[in-house]
Amino acid sequence: MAEKKGAKSIFISEDDRYLFGQGTHYDIYKKLGAHVTEVGGKKGVFFAVWAPHAAAVHVIGSFNGWNEDQYLMERQPDSGIYTLFIKDVKQGDYYKFLIHTPSGEKLYKADPFANYAELRPGTASRIYDLNNFEWKDEKWIEDRASKNEFERPMAIYECHIGSWMRHPVPENDGFYNYREFADRILEYLKEMKFTHLELMGIAEHPFDGSWGYQVTGYYAPTSRYGTPDDFRYLVDLMHQNGIGIILDWVPAHFPRDAHGLANFDGQPLFEHPDSRLGEHPDWGTKIFNYGMSEVKNFLIANALFWIREFHIDGLRVDAVASMLYLDYGKQDGAWVANKYGGNENLEAIEFFKHLNSVVRGSYPGVCTIAEESTAWPKVTAAPEEGGLGFTFKWNMGWMHDFCEYMKLDPYFRKNNHYKLTFAMSYNSSENYILPISHDEVVHLKCSMVNKMPGYQVDKYANLRVGYTYMFTHSGKKLLFMGQEFAQEREWCEERELDWYMLENHLNRGMSDFMKELLTIYNKYPALYEIDNNWSGFEWMNADDKDRSIYSYVRKGKSGKNNILVVLNMTPMRRENLWIGVPKKGKYKLLLNSDEERFGGNNGVIPKTLTAVEGECDRREYHIEFTIPAYGAAVFCF
């Protein structure tokens, strides 16, 4: 069969097989899977699948009535890759690979490299050509590569599309499609002043209740909300309006679903063959075999796929700790030590270094973010310096201490004062993001506002002062949807957010407060330019535990428009409070969390304070004012 000129590159070459076997074929998704092409003047689709243990593989689909005998694939030499061109197959057609095992078993598998999938509960893959979308985000991509991500504001809005907002009519579960969601959330993000949108559950997954963290289609945006080009519209629109897109990415494990990656060709292929290394007993999922070149290639190429084909600005890597530790979630005797007798997963470590080296080297400005809950060293250090190479790390220690402190009755806060100061003692060890994620508002943990002590009005006041601490502390920020207006119920993926609460004074006030706080965060470089060392942060008083008062300064590179923050974590109004300050001069009030428009009691703080001589907090100058109960005051000087 003669090939059409220009179509040859779609087929599997000897170089393709070699690079894939070495784990360095970063374009492998352009070869494996299903690709619309032309051969001998005939339009059709080229299919390719990696199934080295298979006795034979057929392509079956809607285009041939799911006939199991018609389309036998050809095995390529020395690779375990099977290929076949089928004419007249077209966009939107459904298909699967029928894998025959040596024992005579038949496995009906979705395509691991498919770009589109049948809407659940269906499990077939679908033909989709990714070559027809016209991007309009060139300026964003150019700016992204030229700017220092560490010196830019990053206020991330973590979001689950299916439960952010829904249609009242339950067609397709009431889900907004990608385009509808994009148009609506763009307006909201711009109004609230978030800089990035982090999306949960985009890669195809069979079970809504997994929130997208048990993936079967790593190369396919979920069909729950539309087509791959619909998803591209979402990314493109955000970029045209100055908003970055981060995806949650799950290279740690995958589910056992029969149509997915588990025992793909009748034997462990993507997972480690030793169950002590290849299974998570607590989660009931399979663990990728990070020591196998083709598996590493599958994952690294997948990261690059989202960056290249969907212009994603960052990947938040889920469950990193579970990958780094061989004994994670396992009992004694149920795991295997490394060759040195330790519990470190040496193959996963090398995988991360490889992944982050490729992303860093190829796409400046694209970030990788580790959700890593332990004290593993150098998560964000460069691989050549012995680090894992991530751009940022979620500061889970900060999150835990913050939530535990804020839940306390204020009487007990004086004995736990250190919980809000401890994070600065290790802040310079990594490039941190401070996360209040979906995990903190599910499974009976309560919403953020209902974690707070006191009567209802106290809860909201506590949350306002807590958020002020978060958004003025060193580190980039992440807040899960609904917490910006203090939704009182826990999050549930089966319903939309409680938007009706914005009719309440306290919730509208919280929303307005967050809008003001985020406006200040974005406007003043002192709050984001220097996040990872002490030159950007200075305690005025970290030790006022008896009054539960915190005061500190954030500084920018220019030395101008620095920020002074004063927090009162008790229900006691502090009259004529002295706060030590770095220098004499005027201190302009930017934010008073007790204003009535925010739901507060309208405790007055002067718009401008003048520092006067008089020793306080080991400083030569101080300001004096009355800070309201559960009050936060932010000044510029």
pLDDT along the chain (637 residues), means of 10: 39 94 96 95 96 98 97 93 96 98 97 98 98 97 94 98 91 90 98 98 96 97 98 98 98 97 97 95 95 97 98 98 95 94 97 97 96 96 96 98 97 97 97 97 96 97 98 98 98 97 98 98 98 96 97 96 98 96 96 97 96 95 97 98
Start-to-end CA distance of the chain, whole Å, equals 76
d(CA 287, CA 300): 16
Contact 393, 373 (CB under 8 A): no
147-527 and 8-109 share a CATH fold: no
Contact 566, 553 (CB under 8 A): no
> Can 282 be counted among the known catalytic residues?
no
pLDDT of residue 582: 96
Contact 601, 594 (CB under 8 A): yes
The domains of the chain are located at 8-109, 147-527
pLDDT of residue 10: 66
Contact 249, 306 (CB under 8 A): yes
Which of 236, 265, 313, 318 does the annotation list as catalytic?
Answer: 318
Tokens of 299: 């994952």
pLDDT of residue 214: 96
Tell me which residue of 387, 358, 385, 384 sits closest to 370, measured CA to CA: 387
Contact 318, 372 (CB under 8 A): no
d(CA 629, CA 462): 9
Place of tokens 């966009």: 91
pLDDT of residue 8: 40
Report pTM.
Answer: 0.95
Q: 460: which DSSP letter?
A: H
d(CA 618, CA 251): 50
Q: What is the CATH number of domain 147-527?
A: 3.20.20.80
Contact 480, 197 (CB under 8 A): no
pLDDT of residue 11: 87
Place of tokens 């076997």: 21
Contact 434, 477 (CB under 8 A): yes
Parallel, antiparallel or unpaired: strands 432-436 and 392-394: parallel
Contact 176, 225 (CB under 8 A): yes
Residues with Cβ within 8 Å of 137's Cβ and at least 6 positions away in sequence, in order, are 235, 236, 239, 240, 311
Phi/psi at 23 (5° precision): 80, 20
> Can 488 be counted among the known catalytic residues?
no
Which of 93, 271, 313, 371 does the annotation list as catalytic?
Answer: 371
Report the top-level CATH class of 8-109: mainly beta
pLDDT of residue 60: 98
Tokens of 434: 């401070």
pLDDT of residue 4: 35
